[in-house]
Amino acid sequence: KSVAIVGCPFRGGQAKLGVDHGPIHMVEAGLEQQLRDLGWEVRFDGHHQFEQISEENDPPIGKMKNPRFVSQVCKAVASVVSDHARRGQLPVVLGGDHSLAMGTIGGTLEVYPNACVIWVDAHADINTPETTESGNIHGMPVSFLLGIAGNEPEFAWVKPALRANRLVYIGLRDVDADEKRILRENGIKAFSMHEIDRHGIGKVVELALDAVNPNRDLPIHLSFDVDALDPTVAPSTGTPVRGGLTFREGHYICEAIHETGLLIALDLMEVNPGLADAESVRKTVSVGCSLVRAALGEALL
Ligand SMILES: N[C@](CCCC[B-](O)(O)O)(CCN1CCC(O)CC1)C(=O)O
Ligand SMILES: [Mn+2]
Ligand SMILES: [Mn+2]
Ligand SMILES: [Mn+2]
């Protein structure tokens, strides 16, 4: 039972400074030892600096901002993640913005082609280069993974390896009009905050697993954007949206996924320590570490 912590100090998928410092704050909060205390063997090869990838001369492609930077970093992340997965290690990717999921999920699907993805987020991150309003690629990774992003030569390396019936969302509450259309057109299962209020988080997680993992026999990649949590719970993040998950609801999702025994990869994304006062940053980082521990087996009793 070994975990590989993959620190990805990357902010190219969006415009706010600081999200590239997320990984260092999580590691400095003691995540490595916390996971060892849970009985995991933990590998941490240091934060990936992507030093060989330049940010220079990277003009927009269409509306996409920093396209070459994002593409090359995600490609590097995909190979790091697939290498760890191939060795039977569980990659715990610390972001960094959510565009990195093109790399993390791309990497796990290479090793576990039948994996399902549970995407916990206030946002669907399924804009295409055409439908995006912001041009921020952290709002687009899912369209690339599904192969519905159109033909973008720079991203030709992203295999359309994710099937729509292997993806499910929990926590949605800020979905763009075009994204709503894309979700409907592709029949993608999504449990918004409305469903969570109606059914309760326990039932929603069951329904989500029923949708993508009916026999509970498929590997699970959990991609957790901390902005799924209510901003009072995780304030230090780039795109906060009111009316989010309580700490308990976020933590329960992670506990329940651990209980399946099927988790093969975890992303903890969009912690931005540069956006709030020290106490709010500490709180956000601490919540992030707690979610990782829960997904890796920390039990309350
Ligand atoms: N859908 C958004 C947000 C993406 C968030 C990415 B994350 O990884 O954090 O989940 C939002 C675009 N939206 C456009 C209209 C505006 O009024 C509000 C923002 C976009 O930029 O595409
Ligand atoms: Mn910092
Ligand atoms: Mn996201
Ligand atoms: Mn989000």
Rounded Cα distance between 123 and 77, Å, is: 22
Distance 88 CA to ligand 3 centre (A): 26
Q: Is the CB of 125 under 6 A from ligand 1?
A: yes
Q: What is the DSSP letter of 97?
A: -
> Atom 1, ligand 1: which residue's CA is nearest?
139
pLDDT at position 155, please? 98
Task: Give me the catalytic one of 21, 47, 48, 138.
Answer: 138
Rounded Cα distance between 262 and 294, Å, is: 14
Confidence of residue 130 (pLDDT cuts 50, 70, 90): very high
270 is a catalytic site residue: yes
Alpha-carbon Rg of the chain, whole angstroms?
Answer: 17
**Whole-number percent of the chain with pLDDT over 90:** 96
Ligand 2 is an ion; residues with CB less than 5 A from it = 21, 273
Q: Is the CB of 293 under 6 A from ligand 1?
A: no
Rounded Cα distance between 182 and 186, Å, is: 6
Lowest mean pLDDT among 45-54, 57-66, 197-206, 219-228: 45-54
- pLDDT higher than 90, residue 51: no
The 3-state DSSP class for residue 51 equals coil
Distance 186 CA to ligand 1 centre (A): 20
Confidence of residue 47 (pLDDT cuts 50, 70, 90): confident
Q: What is the DSSP letter of 88?
A: T
Cβ atoms within 10 Å of 296's Cβ, excluding its own: 21
Please state the three-class secondary structure of 226-292 as a single string.
HHHECCCCCCCCCCCCCCCECHHHHHHHHHHHHHHCCEEEEEEECCCCCCCCHHHHHHHHHHHHHHH
pLDDT at position 83, please? 97
Tokens of 34: 């916390």
pLDDT at position 299, please? 97
pLDDT at position 54, please? 86
Mean pLDDT of the chain: 97
Helix 67-86, helix 101-111: angle, nearest 10: 30
58 is a catalytic site residue: no
| Nearest atom, ligand 1, residue 122 CA | 10
Contact 77, 104 (CB under 8 A): yes
176 is a catalytic site residue: no
Q: What is the pLDDT of residues 111-127, one digit of tens each?
A: 999 999 999 999 999 99
Q: Is the CB of 134 under 6 A from ligand 1?
A: yes
Q: What is the pLDDT of residues 257-290, one digit of tens each?
A: 999 999 999 999 999 999 999 999 999 999 999 9
Q: What is the pLDDT of residues 194-204, one digit of tens each?
A: 999 999 999 99
pLDDT at position 23, please? 97
**Whole-number percent of the chain with pLDDT over 70:** 100
Does ipTM exceed 0.90?
Answer: yes
Q: What is the pLDDT of residues 73-96, one digit of tens each?
A: 999 999 999 999 999 999 999 999
**Residues forming a β-bridge with 64:** 61
- pLDDT higher than 90, residue 137: yes
pLDDT at position 49, please? 85
Tokens of 170: 């929990």
Secondary structure element (H or E) that encloses residue 15, with its range: none
pLDDT at position 55, please? 87
- pLDDT higher than 90, residue 52: no
Q: What is the pLDDT of residues 195-234, one digit of tens each?
A: 999 999 999 999 999 999 999 999 999 999 999 999 999 9
pLDDT at position 25, please? 98
Q: Which ligand is nearest to the CA of 275?
A: 2
Average pLDDT over residues 1-21: 97
Average pLDDT over residues 140-151: 98
> Atom 5, ligand 1: which residue's CA is nearest?
139
Confidence of residue 48 (pLDDT cuts 50, 70, 90): confident
